[in-house]
Amino acid sequence: MKYYIIAGEASGDLHGSNLIKALKLEDSQANIRCWGGDLMERAGGTLVKHYKEMAFMGFLEVLRNLNAIFKNITYCKDDIEDFNPDVIVFIDYSGFNLRIAKWAKEKGFITNYYISPQIWASREGRIEKIKRDIDAMYVILPFEKAFYEKKHGFPVHFIGHPLIDAISDRDYLAKNEFCKIHDLDANRPIIALLPGSRKQEVQKMLTVMLSVIPSFPEYQFVIAGAPSLEKEFYVPFLKDPNVGFISNKTYDLLSISYAALVTSGTATLETALFKVPQIVCYKAHWLSYQIAKRIITLDYISLVNLIMGKEVIRELIQNDLNTNNLKQELSKILNGPSRSKILDSYTTLREKLGGEGASEKAASLIASQAKK
């Protein structure tokens, strides 16, 4: 069968790669064409366009790049028609994917959505587009099933979270070996810095994250470089001898970290699954934040707190993200009751996410759709 998969971000590339592996096990004749990244290509997909070419963050940047976005949409439609897949699989990336889905449904293609757009966070009215344009939806967060089925009468499949498999299905280096390879001090505890994957957010986040270093001389801080950015981009942030850098090895870093400062997103959940106490950091352009604040209806921005339905980890957003606040909150999670409370909550979080095998479950359901 022929599968066309569209992901537009680093997290989508990860989940897409595991889905491709599972599809190839489910369907030995699977022919997979995809938009995504290096991981999806290595898993066996024929890469059409890399997500690095589509990484536009925030309202202002989207406006500045509308021409490129519309060109990508046109190119994607033409490529789908040429390939003529048995099923199209959308992975998150709703602004782009829902536009393609509308066109694809009108053309008679089977449309599957793996990892729901976050319409429970903002612009809930998009549910009507999903009902109209999506044949099957596979959700990975426990509260999403009730949101779609009970609130909106749209049946979905809850398959568990694929991060559980992505994290469990690997061997990690011991701290001594990892530190030796990356020129780090194995005798000092590590605070991981996960500043995001786009240049604009990395620049904002790292400036504040690194400002707390003088207050914690007994720790070493290690930046997790994003696969979408070259090391040269990070050089200006590596002047302090207490700052280390690794690239494309975030999971290995988290496996030996004592605490973490994390930009909101999938990384907050990844950090929790590695049982690393964390502080969530987020700061956007002023105008982008003002717009987002008016359309996002959530009490929290981190997946950890959203899934748990309460504040498990501290979120420092916009003006609250400053050196003084970050220093105070980091001190709390390094020692004492706050640290223990977070670690206890992580155990409950994992139970809520369901068991292993999310990618395999999704692949089985998608292959069944394709055969129709």
CATH of domain 168-352: 3.40.50.2000
What 3-state DSSP class applies to 143?
A: helix
Compute the distance between CA of residue 264 and CA of residue 166 in angstroms, rounded to an integer: 19
State the Cα–Cα distance between residues 4 and 19, nearest whole angstrom.
12
DSSP string, 218-248: TSEEEEEE-TTS-HHHHGGG--STTEEEEES
> Do the beta carbons of residue 21 and residue 43 sit within 8 Å?
yes
Q: What is the pLDDT of residue 33?
A: 98
Instruction: Specify the CATH number of the domain 2-160+357-371.
Output: 3.40.50.2000
Q: What is the arrangement of strands in the sheet containing 259-263, beginning at the earlier edge strand?
A: 243-247, 220-225, 190-194, 259-263, 278-282, 314-317
pLDDT given at position 169: 75
Grade residue 10 by pLDDT with cuts at 50, 70 and 90: confident
Confidence at residue 355, expressed as pLDDT on a 0 to 100 scale: 79
Least confidently predicted of 72-76, 156-160, 230-234, 291-295: 291-295
Q: How far apart are CA 258 and CA 62, in angstroms?
A: 37
d(C-alpha 338, C-alpha 278), whole Å? 11
pLDDT number for residue 61: 54
What mean pLDDT do residues 285-289 have? 56
Determine which of 66-75, 172-181, 237-246, 330-339 has the lowest per-residue pLDDT on average.
66-75
Average pLDDT over residues 180-200: 93
Highest-confidence segment of 168-172, 203-207, 255-259: 255-259
Token pair for 214: 């003088």
Give residue-wise pLDDT tens across range 28-65: 999 999 999 999 999 999 999 999 877 655 555 555 66
In this structure, the dihedral spanned by the alpha carbons of residues 96, 99, 103 and 109, taken in order and rounded to 10 degrees, is 60
* CB-neighbour burial class of residue 231 (10 A; exposed 0-12, middle 13-18, buried 19+): exposed
**Nearest one of 17, 32, 183, 35 to 96, comparing CA atoms:** 35
Domain ranges in the chain with CATH number 3.40.50.2000: 2-160+357-371, 168-352
Specify the pLDDT at position 55: 62
221: CB partners within 8 A, 6+ apart: 190, 191, 192, 193, 209, 210, 213, 240, 242, 243, 244
DSSP, collapsed to helix, strand or coil, labels residue 336 as coil
Residue 293 is predicted with a pLDDT of: 56
The predicted structure's pLDDT at residue 121: 81
Q: Edge to edge, what strands does the sheet with 157-158 contain?
A: 46-50, 31-36, 2-7, 87-91, 111-114, 136-139, 157-158
Decide which of 161 and 265 is more confident: 161
The pLDDT tens digits for 93-128 are 998 999 999 999 999 999 999 999 989 888 899 999
User: What are 284's two structure tokens?
Assistant: 């956007």
pLDDT at 228: 77
Which pLDDT band, with edges at 50, 70 and 90, does 319 fall under? confident
pLDDT surpasses 90 at 201: no
- Above 90 in pLDDT, residue 288? no
Q: What is the pTM of this model?
A: 0.81
367 in Cβ contact with 134 (< 8 Å) = no
Q: What is the pLDDT of residue 35?
A: 97
Which pair of tokens denotes residue 116? 């729901």
Give buried/exposed letters for 344-355 (b at 16+ CB in 10 A, else e). Answer: ebbeebeeebbe
